[in-house]
Amino acid sequence: MDPNRSASVSPWQLLTSVRFAPFFSTQFLGALNDNLFKNTLILLLVFESAQQGGEIDKLTNLAAALFILPYLLFSALAGQLADRHEKSALVRLLKIGELGLMLLASVALLSHNLSMLYLLLFLMATQSAFFSPIKYSLIPQHLEPSQWVAGNGLVEAGTFIAILLGTLIAGVLFRYPQGELMIAALLCLQAFLGWWACRRIPLAPSAIAEQQPLRNPARLTVRLLAQSWKQPRIRFLILAISWFWFLGAAYLTQVPHYAQAVLGGDTLTVSALLCCFTVGIGAGSLACNRLTRDRLGRDMVLIGLAGLILAGSDLFFASPQSPLPADSGLGALLAANLRVALDIVLIGAFGGCYIVPLYTQLQARTDIGNRAQTIAANNIVNALYMVLSAAMGFVLLGLWHWPLETFFLTLALLNLPMAAYVVWSRPGWLGASFQRLRPKRQL
pLDDT tier at 10, thresholds 50, 70, 90: confident
- Per-residue pLDDT, 50: 52
Which stretch of 53-67, 140-154, 396-410 has the lowest confidence by average pLDDT? 53-67
The CA distance from 4 to 295, in Å, is: 5
- Per-residue pLDDT, 430: 74
Rounded to 10°, the helix 21-52/179-198 angle is 160
pLDDT tier at 434, thresholds 50, 70, 90: low
- Per-residue pLDDT, 252: 87
**Taking 80 as the threshold, does the pLDDT of residue 293 lie above it?**
no
- Per-residue pLDDT, 6: 44
- Indicate the length of the chain as a whole number: 443
| Region 366-372 average pLDDT | 88
Q: Is 91 helix (H, G, I), strand (E, B) or coil?
A: helix
pLDDT tier at 172, thresholds 50, 70, 90: confident
pLDDT tier at 237, thresholds 50, 70, 90: very high
| Region 49-55 average pLDDT | 55
- Per-residue pLDDT, 3: 39
pLDDT per position as a tens digit, 302-328: 999 999 999 999 999 999 999 988 778
Q: How far is CA 309 from CA 31, 149, 238, 306, 348, in A?
A: 29, 23, 21, 5, 12
CB 149 within 8 A of CB 292: yes
pLDDT tier at 443, thresholds 50, 70, 90: very low
Q: What does the DSSP assignment read for 92-142?
A: HHHHHHHHHHHHHHHHHHHHT-HHHHHHHHHHHHHHHHHHHHHHHHHHHHH
Fill in the DSSP letter of residue 207: -
**Taking 50 as the threshold, does the pLDDT of residue 418 lie above it?**
yes
| Region 359-366 average pLDDT | 93
Residue type (1 letter), 36: L
- Per-residue pLDDT, 146: 86
Domain residue ranges in the chain? 9-198, 218-436
Residue type (1 letter), 144: E
The CA distance from 342 to 279, in Å, is: 11
- Per-residue pLDDT, 4: 45
Task: Region of 53 please: left (phi>0), alpha (psi -120 to 50) or beta.
Answer: left
pLDDT per position as a tens digit, 174-193: 888 899 999 999 999 999 99
Fill in the DSSP letter of residue 326: T
Domains 9-198 and 218-436 in one fold: yes
Residue 130 CA neighbour count, 13 Å, CB half: 20
CB 104 within 8 A of CB 121: no
Q: Is 426 helix (H, G, I), strand (E, B) or coil?
A: coil
- Percent of the chain past pLDDT 90, that is, above it, reads 62
- Per-residue pLDDT, 57: 59
Instruction: Please name the CATH architecture into which domain 218-436 falls.
Output: Up-down Bundle (1.20)
**Taking 70 as the threshold, does the pLDDT of residue 364 lie above it?**
yes
Task: List Cβ neighbours of 383 (8 Å cut-off, separation of 6 or more).
Answer: 68, 71, 72, 75
Q: What is the rounded average pLDDT for all residues in the chain? A: 88
The CA distance from 150 to 422, in Å, is: 23
| Region 79-90 average pLDDT | 92
| Region 143-171 average pLDDT | 91
- Per-residue pLDDT, 1: 34
| Region 332-359 average pLDDT | 95
- Percent of the chain past pLDDT 70, that is, above it, reads 91
pLDDT per position as a tens digit, 191-229: 999 999 999 999 999 877 555 656 677 888 888 899 999
- Per-residue pLDDT, 190: 96
**Taking 50 as the threshold, does the pLDDT of residue 138 lie above it?**
yes
Nearest residue to 224 (alpha-carbon basis) of 359, 75, 386, 83: 75
> Which residue did the predictor score with more confidence, 318 or 114?
318
Which stretch of 139-148, 230-239, 424-433 has the lowest confidence by average pLDDT? 424-433
**Taking 80 as the threshold, does the pLDDT of residue 415 lie above it?**
yes
Note the pTM of the prediction, 2 decimals. Answer: 0.89
- Which CATH entry fits the domain spanning 9-198: 3.10.620.30, 1.20.1250.20, 1.10.3720.10, 3.10.105.10? 1.20.1250.20
